[in-house]
A and B are shown apart, each in its own frame.
Chain A
Amino acid sequence: MDELYFFLEVLIGGLLSGTMYSLVALGFVLIYKASGIFNFAQGTMVLFAALTFVGVLELGAPALLAAVITLAVMVVLAFAVERLVFRHMVNQPQVILFMATIGLAYFLEGLGQTVWGTEVHVLDLGIPDRGLWLGPILVSQFDLVAAAVVAGLVGALGVFFRTTTMGRALRGVADDHQAALSIGIPLHHVWVAVWSVAGFVALVAGLVWGSKLGVQFSISLVALKAIPVMIIGGFTSIPGAIVGGLIVGASEKLAEVYLGPFVGGGLENWFPYMLAMLVLMVRPEGIFGEKIIERV
């Protein structure tokens, strides 16, 4: 019986930590849906947002003001990225756009650390980080709060996409750029908007990750794991990002606990990528992705 409880404990812990991957993957999906850009810099945006937030906080601003300022910075960033980079790169192959976002990732990483320094910043949002006994199973309270934040964010984004004008415009652009342009949706504004929303998601992810791991460089590497999450879930699907995150979180924890001892541990570093590769072999478009149709 104890073994079953232990299994459940690992599984639940994995699922909950998987929601944090979902949070980063959500930002990827938003931008990919609206512009077809695979934004490699999303992970760095998480780090950048967290660094900015902590930096402003340490200057003595209250948390709410710091959040507003950081959000403003992310919106300015969205404007700059659209104006200076992607406006000039229309009609380029997707792979070139992808490489440009790698450049952007480097740029942001350097900028964030030049301005705010490299030391690990402690971020305490007052989320309790204690174990919680649910019957015989130990669950991290922090992970529960994080999962709740993700659920709330997904709900809010769902409402935003379904009911607001901007949300509908975003969905229109995602479906078909040309059709959206022809009925008068301003493409450039929509892109700025979607990068801003992705910036907001990055801020939330940065706060959650930052208060768990400390705000430091390694966040952007951990956030790289959102890529297999998207691959598994499908590039164009928000539910896919959530489900992918849960699968990755649960499977890497289970692999670490049950396979790790045989091979010396550290499986977490590569297991999600291998899993994603296997999924790709079977279903190249991911679980929830749209079918890829190609013609000459």
Chain B
Amino acid sequence: MFYRETGQYKTTYAADRAIFPIRQDRVAFAVLLLVAFVAIPLLANEYWLRSVLTPVLVFSLAAIGLNILTGYTGQLSLGTAAFMAVGAFAAYNLEVRVPEVPFLVSFVVAGLAAAGVGILFGLPSLRIKGFYLAVATLAAQFFIEWLFTHVGWFTNYSTSGVITAPPMTLLGFSFESAESRYLLTLCIVVVMAVMAKNMVRSELGRAWMAVRDMDIAAEAIGINLMKTKLTAFAVSSFYCGVAGALWAYVYLGTVEPQAFDVLRSFEILFMVIIGGLGSILGSFLGAAFIVLLPIFIANASGIFGDALSAETIAHLEFVIFGGLIIVFLVVEPRGLARLWQIVKEKLRLWPFPY
């Protein structure tokens, strides 16, 4: 009744190409942004801002990165966390060695460094594909983790191997409070998400999807495979690199190479699968789902009192994660984003479906 496009005519090409062609969507999105930028910082308490919402945003960014590579270009990657680590350590090293650099610049450098490493480990994708490629990205995962653990230069010879992010200041303002950190992350993530959304709707994104659907056919219609695959690796790693830098600087403050292990890579892969392969919205939904699920389980198990130990709960989490992945792949391989789409389609006919 309320959600339909009747009477909304597109009279310009620009209107036809809009991200949200329906007015109700635009209004809803504006409200959502308003809530995220104004209401949440005012209402949410420190715990939610610092330990829930900020990691959700950071993971969303990493999930968008992986989604560009796996969901849009069809190149399976198990090394997402390694590219995040490259970002985190690149930003840290730049700040330590050249303290004058503003931290926003070092975030960009973090992304660029990760993009470079991504291209390097993306080179095998020109010859191999599918889970053969997954092995190449596993090589990246284990090699980079080892590099940051064993080569002291990267951690500035810190004895424990842990790096501590220098404080972030911009024009005299110091990002210390939970609110400021949340808003900083939100700004970066929103800008980058809009960029990603536009990228996948452009010529570049369409080339990615053509390669995903069938790379030989894509090549036959004149798409440059090498360029397309390597840009996918570069852009994807750029997003992961910035996410890694945010993870180290904004969320944790101190970070060790082991925080970016292969299990973290899987976690981000799960976000992408559950959220929806090939969907920017899905990256947010998946990240929120995976971050909130353990909190939900921990609270739900409180009902049973002390019958379940913390250890058992941690293991049950694994069981539930694994089970959910399988259920999603069997029932709805296109994830939460697809469910949302179905809801919207139903809503257009509500309350008089035919």
Contact B329 A100 (CB under 8 A): yes
Residue picked from A85, A110, A274, A280, most chain B C-beta under 10 Å? A110
Contact B317 A270 (CB under 8 A): no
Contact B330 A88 (CB under 8 A): yes
Chain A residues contacting B142 (CB-CB under 8 Å) are 269-270, 273
Contact B325 A100 (CB under 8 A): yes
Q: Can you list, as one digit per residue, whether each of B99-138 has a CB less than 8 Å from chain A (1) or not (0)?
A: 0000000000000000000000000100110111011101
Contact A92 B150 (CB under 8 A): no
Bound-state Cα–Cα, A263 to B146, Å: 10
Chain B residues contacting A106 (CB-CB under 8 Å) are 266, 318-319, 321-322, 325
Contact A280 B132 (CB under 8 A): yes
Chain A residues contacting B266 (CB-CB under 8 Å) are 102, 106
Residue picked from B135, B136, B311, B316, most chain A C-beta under 10 Å? B135
A interface residues, tally (CB under 8 Å)? 48
With both chains docked as a complex, state the minimum distance between the C-beta of A268 and any C-beta of chain B, in angstroms: 9
Residue picked from B151, B217, B330, B333, most chain A C-beta under 10 Å? B330
Chain A residues contacting B149 (CB-CB under 8 Å) are 266
Q: Which of B289-348 contact A (CB under 8 A)?
A: 311-312, 315-326, 329-330, 333
CB < 8 Å: which of B132, B216, B312, B325 contacts A99? B325
SS class, residues of chain A in contact with chain B: helix
Indicate if A201 sits at the interface (CB-CB under 8 A).
no
Contact A38 B143 (CB under 8 A): no
Q: Can you list, as one digit per residue, whether each of A89-115 has a CB less than 8 Å from chain B (1) or not (0)?
A: 100101110111011111111110110
Indicate if B269 sits at the interface (CB-CB under 8 A).
yes
Indicate if A277 sits at the interface (CB-CB under 8 A).
yes
Chain B residues contacting A92 (CB-CB under 8 Å) are 329, 333
Indicate if B139 sits at the interface (CB-CB under 8 A).
yes
Chain A residues contacting B315 (CB-CB under 8 Å) are 110-111, 113-114, 118
Chain B residues contacting A231 (CB-CB under 8 Å) are 132, 135
Bound-state Cα–Cα, A280 to B127, Å: 8
Contact A263 B150 (CB under 8 A): yes
Bound-state Cα–Cα, A274 to B120, Å: 13
Indicate if B278 sits at the interface (CB-CB under 8 A).
no
Indicate if B98 sits at the interface (CB-CB under 8 A).
no
Indicate if A59 sits at the interface (CB-CB under 8 A).
no
Indicate if B194 sits at the interface (CB-CB under 8 A).
no
Q: Which of A250-277 contact B (CB under 8 A)?
A: 263-267, 269-270, 273-274, 276-277
CB < 8 Å: which of B130, B138, B330 contacts A273? B138
Bound-state Cα–Cα, A123 to B315, Å: 22
The residue of chain B having its C-beta at the shortest distance from the C-beta of A118 within the complex is B311
Contact B74 A95 (CB under 8 A): yes
CB < 8 Å: which of B127, B139, B216, B262 contacts A274? B139
With both chains docked as a complex, state the minimum distance between the C-beta of B209 and any C-beta of chain A, in angstroms: 14
Chain B residues contacting A117 (CB-CB under 8 Å) are 311
Chain A residues contacting B146 (CB-CB under 8 Å) are 266-267, 269-270
Bound-state Cα–Cα, A20 to B105, Å: 48
Bound-state Cα–Cα, A36 to B149, Å: 37
Indicate if B63 sits at the interface (CB-CB under 8 A).
no
Contact flag A96-B329 (CB < 8 Å), given A264-B150, A296-B214: yes
The residue of chain A having its C-beta at the shortest distance from the C-beta of B324 within the complex is A103
With both chains docked as a complex, state the minimum distance between the C-beta of A27 and any C-beta of chain B, in angstroms: 16
Chain B residues contacting A104 (CB-CB under 8 Å) are 322, 326
Indicate if A284 sits at the interface (CB-CB under 8 A).
yes
Contact flag A277-B150 (CB < 8 Å), given A95-B74, A100-B329: no
Indicate if A2 sits at the interface (CB-CB under 8 A).
no
B interface residues, tally (CB under 8 Å)? 46
Contact A273 B135 (CB under 8 A): yes
Bound-state Cα–Cα, A19 to B108, Å: 46
With both chains docked as a complex, state the minimum distance between the C-beta of A284 and any C-beta of chain B, in angstroms: 5
Contact B143 A274 (CB under 8 A): yes
Chain B residues contacting A227 (CB-CB under 8 Å) are 135, 138
Contact flag A99-B329 (CB < 8 Å), given A106-B318, A110-B322: yes
Bound-state Cα–Cα, A106 to B267, Å: 11
The residue of chain B having its C-beta at the shortest distance from the C-beta of A232 within the complex is B135
Bound-state Cα–Cα, A274 to B146, Å: 13
Contact B326 A85 (CB under 8 A): yes
With both chains docked as a complex, state the minimum distance between the C-beta of B89 and any C-beta of chain A, in angstroms: 17
Indicate if A183 sits at the interface (CB-CB under 8 A).
no
Indicate if A240 sits at the interface (CB-CB under 8 A).
no
Contact B143 A99 (CB under 8 A): no
Indicate if A214 sits at the interface (CB-CB under 8 A).
no
Q: Can you list, as one digit per residue, whether each of B43-80 has a CB less than 8 Å from chain A (1) or not (0)?
A: 00000000000000000000000000000001010000
Residue picked from B150, B270, B315, most chain A C-beta under 10 Å? B315
Contact B135 A99 (CB under 8 A): no
Contact B124 A94 (CB under 8 A): no
Contact B322 A105 (CB under 8 A): yes
Chain A residues contacting B130 (CB-CB under 8 Å) are 94-95, 98
Bound-state Cα–Cα, A263 to B136, Å: 22
Indicate if A294 sits at the interface (CB-CB under 8 A).
yes
With both chains docked as a complex, state the minimum distance between the C-beta of A71 and any C-beta of chain B, in angstroms: 23
Question: Nearest 10 CB-CB pairs, A to B?
Answer: A110-B318, A107-B322, A103-B325, A106-B322, A273-B139, A110-B319, A270-B142, A114-B315, A264-B150, A270-B143
Tell me the B residues contacting A by CB distance below 8 Å.
74, 76, 124, 127-128, 130-132, 134-136, 138-139, 142-143, 145-146, 149-151, 214, 216-217, 220, 262, 266, 269-270, 273, 311-312, 315-326, 329-330, 333
Q: Supply 26 A–B pairs (Cβ within 8 Å), ascending by A.
A: A85-B326, A94-B130, A96-B329, A98-B130, A102-B266, A102-B269, A103-B270, A103-B325, A106-B325, A110-B317, A110-B318, A110-B319, A110-B321, A111-B315, A111-B319, A114-B312, A227-B138, A266-B146, A267-B146, A270-B146, A273-B138, A273-B142, A274-B143, A280-B128, A281-B127, A296-B220
